[in-house]
């Protein structure tokens, strides 16, 4: 047996996990600032629920980890937190108030290609809201993106588009509606492949040269140019898409974040469940090429799951922990960060050290005690290697004098504090 991790799954050392926890804690704080409530959903789902919204040839179906239980029921590991959220609403709609805003930070799995920032086992940090129509909530979610990445000190750009506009433009080229999904997938790849490759791909699925040329023309226009070109169009999809985008753009302008947001007509997002505006976030300087956040409006999913004659408009966004971690892991701010504030080294004072540690923990400090029979030098070496900022050596002399000496390991200074007045430590540590 070879001891190894499955490709795309990783062990994280304490230093690495502290960074990941920092990201999660930062996002959780901001999610709650915006009024989102925590939930948890199972990572195991029935396969038909996971696959219900896709055509047979959709890439996502090839990336679902499939399995069966002892009852031979067909199951799958969730590939995102969106479908489980829709299922959650369908199962709990009588226990929650609509509009309902939720966040969830949890694992998802995809059997896809592995690259920097894209793993097979990964953590997603999602916020979604069901029950609110229109672009006001979408604009707020885009401000949440900017707020979160500013807090994480990551410069971003947000690409946005409308699936209604995209579908309308495809139909405007005379393309059969049955080909919408496959044409959309190819358009979504336009910026990543050559013009010639794009043409050949579409000609290969039955489009004619004129249709491909029109796609290339339409999907290279700016929002202003599209508004002008289709000012009097009878194409309802185009009208709806332009209306969505114009309203959203107006919000972004007034919220002073339009300089971070770029209309991108080729942006589709891979999932076919999106019904309106979609978003993707990228690190501004291209340090990693994959998106570090994404989302959009998916009004039909919850509605079709519940199927009670009521509309359940839904929109949400997601943050990719793996890709954000890749951007933060080498920053100096984390290089000397320890999970421990104070390290106590007992010198024949085990019981007193345990009591002191508990007293310090009650003051809010994270405390570790050296519990092995080590020489003082080795104990201090351990504290240095672990980047623990403060050390207390507790011996009989300290107890008889009723005082402790706190060693500042970084600045090589010492602080003396009375055991009867430990709270004074807060002035120094």
Other Cβ atoms within 10 Å of 272 Cβ, number: 19
Cα–Cα–Cα angle for 85, 105, 284, rounded to 5 degrees: 105
Q: How far apart are CA 270 and CA 293, in angstroms?
A: 13
> What number does CATH give the domain 339-427?
3.40.50.800
Contacts for 145 with CB less than 8 Å, ≥ 6 apart:
156, 158, 279, 281, 293, 317
Listed in sequence order, the residues at least 6 apart from 184 whose beta carbon sits closer than 8 Å to its beta carbon are 163, 166, 167, 170, 268, 272
Instruction: At 312, give phi and psi (nearest 5°).
Output: -125, 80
Q: Are 120 and 7 in contact (CB under 8 A)?
A: yes
> Domain 14-328: what homologous superfamily?
Bira Bifunctional Protein; Domain 2 (3.30.930.10)
Interatomic CA distance for residues 66 and 74, integer angstroms: 7
Is the pLDDT at 57 greater than 90, yes or no?
Answer: no
The partner residues of 102 in beta bridges, in order of sequence, read 37, 128
User: In angstroms, rounded to a whole number, what is the distance separating the alpha carbons of residues 128 and 296?
Assistant: 9
Question: Do you find a cis peptide bond into 409, omega within 30 degrees of 0?
Answer: no
Per the CB < 8 A criterion, the answer to whether 53 and 83 are in contact is yes
Instruction: Provide, rounded to the nearest whole percent, the portion of the chain with pLDDT above 70.
Output: 98
Identify the weakest region by mean pLDDT among 51-65, 88-102, 262-276: 51-65
- Segment 76-111, tens digit of pLDDT: 999 999 999 999 999 999 999 999 999 999 999 999
Q: Could you give the C-alpha distances from 301 to 88, 290, 306, in angstroms and in order? A: 12, 26, 9
Question: Can you give the residue ranges of every domain in the chain?
Answer: 14-328, 339-427
Question: Taking Cα atoms as reference points, which of 318, 304, 297, 300 lies closest to residue 137?
Answer: 297
Average pLDDT over residues 392-409: 94
Contact yes or no for 354/369 (Cβ under 8 A): yes
SS3 329: coil
Q: Which of 110-114, 153-157, 410-414 has the highest mean pLDDT?
A: 153-157
**Strand, coil or helix: 172:** helix
Distance CA(360)–CA(341), nearest Å, equals: 10
- pLDDT surpassing 70 at residue 56: no
Rounded to the nearest 5 percent, the helix, strand and coil shares of the chain are: 45, 20, 35
Average pLDDT over all residues of the chain: 93
Q: What is the pLDDT of residues 177-235, one digit of tens each?
A: 999 989 998 999 888 889 999 999 999 999 999 999 999 999 999 999 999 999 999 99
């Amino acid at each position: 047996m070879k001891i190894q991790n499955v490709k795309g799954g990783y062990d994280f050392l304490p230093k690495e996990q502290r960074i990941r926890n920092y990201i999660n804690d930062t996002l959780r704080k901001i999610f709650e600032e915006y009024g989102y409530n925590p939930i948890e959903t199972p990572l195991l789902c029935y396969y038909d629920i996971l696959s219900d919204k896709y055509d047979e040839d959709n890439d996502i179906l090839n990336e679902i980890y499939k399995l069966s239980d002892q009852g031979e029921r067909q199951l799958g590991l969730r590939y995102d937190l969106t479908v489980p959220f829709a299922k959650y609403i369908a199962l709990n709609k009588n226990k929650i108030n609509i509009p309902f805003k939720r966040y969830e930070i949890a694992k998802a799995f995809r059997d896809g290609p592995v690259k920097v920032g894209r793993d097979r086992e990964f953590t997603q940090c999602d916020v979604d809201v069901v029950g609110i129509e229109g672009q006001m909530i979408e604009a707020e979610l885009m401000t949440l993106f900017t707020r979160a990445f500013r807090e994480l000190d990551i410069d971003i750009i947000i690409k946005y588009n409308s699936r209604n506009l995209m579908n309308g433009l495809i139909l405007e080229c005379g393309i059969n509606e049955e080909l919408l999904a496959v044409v959309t997938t190819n358009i979504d790849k336009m910026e990543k492949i050559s013009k010639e490759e794009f043409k050949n791909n579409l000609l290969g699925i039955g489009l004619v040269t004129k249709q491909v040329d029109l796609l290339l023309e339409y999907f290279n226009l700016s929002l202003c140019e599209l508004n002008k070109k289709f000012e009097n169009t009878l194409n309802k999809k185009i009208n709806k898409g332009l209306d969505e985008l114009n309203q959203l753009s107006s919000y972004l302008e007034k919220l002073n974040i339009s300089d971070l947001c770029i209309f991108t007509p080729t942006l589709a997002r891979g999932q076919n469940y999106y019904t309106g505006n979609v978003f993707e976030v990228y690190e501004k300087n291209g340090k990693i090429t994959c998106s570090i956040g994404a989302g959009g409006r998916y009004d039909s999913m919850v509605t079709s799951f519940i199927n009670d004659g009521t509309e359940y408009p839904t929109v949400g966004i997601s943050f990719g922990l793996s890709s954000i971690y890749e951007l933060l892991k080498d920053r100096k701010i984390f290089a000397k960060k320890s999970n421990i504030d104070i390290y106590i080294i007992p010198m024949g004072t085990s019981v007193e050290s345990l009591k002191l540690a508990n007293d310090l923990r009650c003051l809010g400090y994270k405390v570790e005690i050296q519990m092995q029979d080590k020489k003082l030098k080795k104990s201090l070496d351990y504290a240095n290697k672990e980047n623990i900022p403060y050390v207390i050596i507790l011996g009989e002399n300290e107890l008889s004098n009723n005082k402790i000496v706190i060693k500042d390991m970084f600045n090589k200074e010492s602080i003396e504090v009375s055991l009867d007045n430990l709270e004074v430590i807060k002035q120094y540590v």
